[in-house]
Amino acid sequence: MVAEVKRRGSPESGAAVITREDRVGIWTFAFDGRPAGRVREAAAEIEELGYGAIWHGEAFGRDSVGQAWLLLSATRHLTVAAGIANIAFRDPIAMATAERALGEAFPGRYVLGLGGHRVDDTVREFDGYPMPALGNAMRTMSAYLDAMDTVPTHSPASDPPPLRVLAALGPKMLKLAAERTWGAHPYFVSVDHTARAREIMGPDAFLGVEQAVVLDTDLDRAREVATAHVAGYVSMAPHQEANVRRLGFGDADIVGGPSRRLVDAIVTYGDAETIRKRVQEHLDAGANHVCIQVLTADPTALPTDEWRELAPPLL
């Protein structure tokens, strides 16, 4: 594991949210389909189990800001991280003022992950809703950060300032994350990507990676769940396909369904010890923090049993 990093929301900030002891967190979309009361109960239990952070995605469930308020208000000291808040869903003024409000209300507990930068000119549909591209990824994200940083402040200041990370996969975005924010939150990546990201970003930037897992000793059944997860991303997310190609996977691994080699690189499955070993591999490769996304046959279900079983070996 790399040495203690300088935590920052912007290059001049030095606040720490996810510490050396908070090496493992939870990443989930499953809160979106649950009533608010059930989400509060689950968040409180995750905190009691000892996980270092809760990371939540954003699609068409709860908006990222509302989800963060819900999770932060249900816990006492746990870090809540947007993984990620989609910059296509709100303008920089709305994002900057929400970030300040969350930071001031829950000091030192909120991490804003930003992403959603699409790089082609194709209008893609998600559940039938048109999602237009935003243009060049680097220019779009740089301009968004610039705009957030210049929004006037007319509310109480948060102390410490909230930290930011970027959803970064390619070398240029990883460099931008290291230069402009606390660090990067790569999603749908292999251990090899973690090692490359650390080399690109240098020793000081925060690197919090997502790792999909299936806790099931029936390996055929576990592999089926893992394969469906990988197939969905490489077929519907061009940036994810581009990233796995950068990692050395080709048509034989992607076209016609993901290969076993690709599935095994992205998802780890089996017993708790197998999952623990993969998490440790990411930490040894340079990650500061690994947030596990538990996959099950029902993606809308809260994997509470799995979170409980994985806590002792991982924490």
Confidence of residue 236 (pLDDT cuts 50, 70, 90): confident
Confidence of residue 10 (pLDDT cuts 50, 70, 90): very low
Q: What's the one-letter identity of residue 256? A: G
- Read off the pLDDT of residues 205-234 as tens digits, 9 standing for 90 and up: 999 999 999 999 999 999 999 999 999 999
Percent of the chain topping pLDDT 70: 90
- How confident is the model over 78-88, as pLDDT tens digits? 999 999 999 98
What is the rounded CA–CA span in Å between residue 217 and residue 208?
Answer: 27
Cα–Cα distance measured from residue 246 to residue 250, given in angstroms and rounded to the nearest whole number: 9
pLDDT band of residue 300 (cuts 50, 70, 90) is confident
How do residues 33-80 score in pLDDT, each as one tens digit?
899 999 999 999 999 999 999 999 998 789 999 999 999 999 999 999
Q: Tell me the average pLDDT across 16-31.
A: 88
Confidence of residue 7 (pLDDT cuts 50, 70, 90): very low
Work out the pLDDT band at 305, boundaries 50, 70, 90.
very high
Four-residue CA torsion sign, 234, 240, 191, 13: negative
Q: Which two tokens stand for residue 276?
A: 């623990």
Segment 17-28 shows an average pLDDT of 89
If phi > 0 it is left, if psi is from -120 to 50 it is alpha, else beta; for residue 268 that is beta
Highest mean pLDDT out of 10-14, 121-125, 133-137: 133-137
How does pLDDT run across 257-297, given as a tens digit for each residue? Answer: 999 999 999 999 999 999 999 999 999 999 999 999 999 99
User: What integer pLDDT is reported at residue 123 of this predicted model?
Assistant: 62
> Domain boundaries in the chain?
24-314
Phi, psi of 161 (to 5 degrees): -65, 145
Q: Output the CA–CA distances (angstroms, integers) from residue 223 to 64, 257, 307, in the order listed.
A: 31, 13, 19
Average pLDDT over residues 137-164: 93
What pLDDT is attached to residue 61? 85
Average pLDDT in the chain: 91
Confidence of residue 117 (pLDDT cuts 50, 70, 90): low
Question: Considering Cα of 231, then 267, then 132, then 70, what sign does the dihedral take?
Answer: positive
Q: Look up residue 278 and give its two tokens.
A: 């993969």
Give residue 67's Cα distance to chain centre.
14
Cis peptide before 35 (omega within 30 of 0): no
* Residue 133 confidence (pLDDT): 67
The residues near 200 (Cβ < 8 Å, ≥ 6 apart) are 171, 174, 175, 178
Tell which residue, 101, 52, 57, 55, has the closest CA to residue 78.
52
Residue with tokens 């990546």: 189
pTM for the whole thing? Answer: 0.92
Which CATH number does 24-314 carry?
3.20.20.30
Return phi, psi of residue 26, to 5°: -110, 135
Residue 119 predicted with pLDDT over 60? no
Confidence of residue 149 (pLDDT cuts 50, 70, 90): very high
- CA-wise closest residue to 162 among 148, 142, 176, 178: 148
**100 in Cβ contact with 159 (< 8 Å):** no
Distance CA 313, CA 315 (A): 6
